[in-house]
Amino acid sequence: MNRSQALNKFRQNDTLFFHLTRSAALLVLALLFAIVLSLIYGAWPALSHFGLNFFVSQTWDANAEEFGALATIYGTLVTSLIAMLIAVPVGLGIAVFLTELCPMRLRRPIGIAVELLAGIPSIIYGIWGFFVFAPFLQQTLQPFLITLFGPVPVLNAVFAGPPYGLGTLTAGLILAIMVLPFIASVSRDVFETVPPVMKEAAYGIGCTTWEVVRNVVIPHTRAGLVGGVMLALGRALGETMAVTFVIGNAKQISASILQPGTTISATIALEYAEASEGLYRSSLVALGLILFIISFIVLAVARLMLARLNKLGA
């Protein structure tokens, strides 16, 4: 084989590889487009019938065919917010400990234990939450919170009783446990990309571990941290089985996070199989479309934040 033939063969292989990879990328876009179209098509009867009232009403009555998504949207956002408020600082703390403070002999066992949490099926979390965690909260944490914040204005409504065990707070705590491994693992991996010479220089001028983490490690890895947090948020927004077990599935908005509530994914999982054709099923599909839009917004915000962080770091 002469040089010209070899170059032609390489060129053909490169062209074939280009078309294969482009086809894979286009396939993803086609699937995404098909999903969006199917959701819009299925949700259109409900959206056209109820209009904007579908988004601002919390009425959900299958017998009267009156449906509103507000309670499920509220539950989805609140449980995810609770989960992130707990999981983000704890996950970052685990990552800092594993990379900066943990003895070498313990780093691998603790790291494996954290990663194993991510491999536990969500239904296991749900069963454990329903039979173990919720009764524990009902007897310990929830009465304590009701007593503690009872005299405090505003907070006494947020933590109003009675303690059911099941509820929005319980679902948020379960979600926090579920997304914690994602935040901790991603944060640990990006922390390990910090050049040792940068940290050694900071320690050399007398910085404490906290100052090194705050002024060197986090600024160097902030784009990766944002990506890990958004990955965890996406998991929290779409979680179904675990939340279904422990949230109580009450389609109402309550100021108290101790009271039962519901989420978009839990409502779809519980009712879609028995939903009749027409507005009922279309309303459930519309909930799926709303969840898709929320997830898309979260992804878009994450991309904008990453682009801004990269621009500031440039």
Average pLDDT per 10 consecutive residues for the chain, totaling 314 residues = 72 86 93 93 93 91 90 94 94 92 87 85 93 94 92 91 91 94 91 89 88 89 86 88 91 91 92 86 94 89 78 62
214 and 119 in contact (C-beta within 8 Å)?
no
pLDDT in the model for residue 96: 92
Closest CA to 260 of 54, 72, 128, 57: 72
pLDDT in the model for residue 307: 77
Q: What pTM did the predictor assign?
A: 0.89
Verify that 9 and 71 share a domain, yes or no: no
Verify that 80 and 174 share a domain, yes or no: yes
Of 35, 50, 65, which one is at a domain's C-terminal end? 50
pLDDT in the model for residue 303: 80
Of 50, 68, 85, which one is at a domain's C-terminal end? 50
Q: How many independent structural domains does the chain possess?
A: 2
We report the CATH number of the domain holding residue 222 as 1.10.3720.10
pLDDT in the model for residue 262: 93
pLDDT in the model for residue 86: 95
pLDDT in the model for residue 73: 94
| Token pair recorded at residue 300 | 């878009």
Verify that 19 and 132 share a domain, yes or no: no
Supply the range of the domain harboring residue 299.
53-313
End-to-end CA distance of the chain: 48
Sequence-ordered list of residues with C-beta below 8 angstroms from that of 132, at least 6 positions apart, any chain: none
DSSP per position, the chain: --HHHHHHHHHHHHHHHHHHHHHHHHHHHHHHHHHHHHHHHHHHHHHHHHTTHHHH---EETTTTEE--HHHHHHHHHHHHHHHHHHHHHHHHHHHIIIIIS-HHHHHHHHHHHHHHHHS-HHHHHHHIIIIIHHHHHHTHHHHHHHHHTTSTTHHHHT-S---S-SHHHHHHHHHHHHHHHHHHHHHHHHTTS-HHHHHHHHHTT--HHHHIIIIIHHHHHHHHHHHHHHHHHHHHH--HHHHHHSB---S--S-TTS-B--HHHHHHHHTTTPPTTHHHHHHHHHHHHHHHHHHHHHHHHHHHHHHHHHHH-
Verify that 105 and 173 share a domain, yes or no: yes
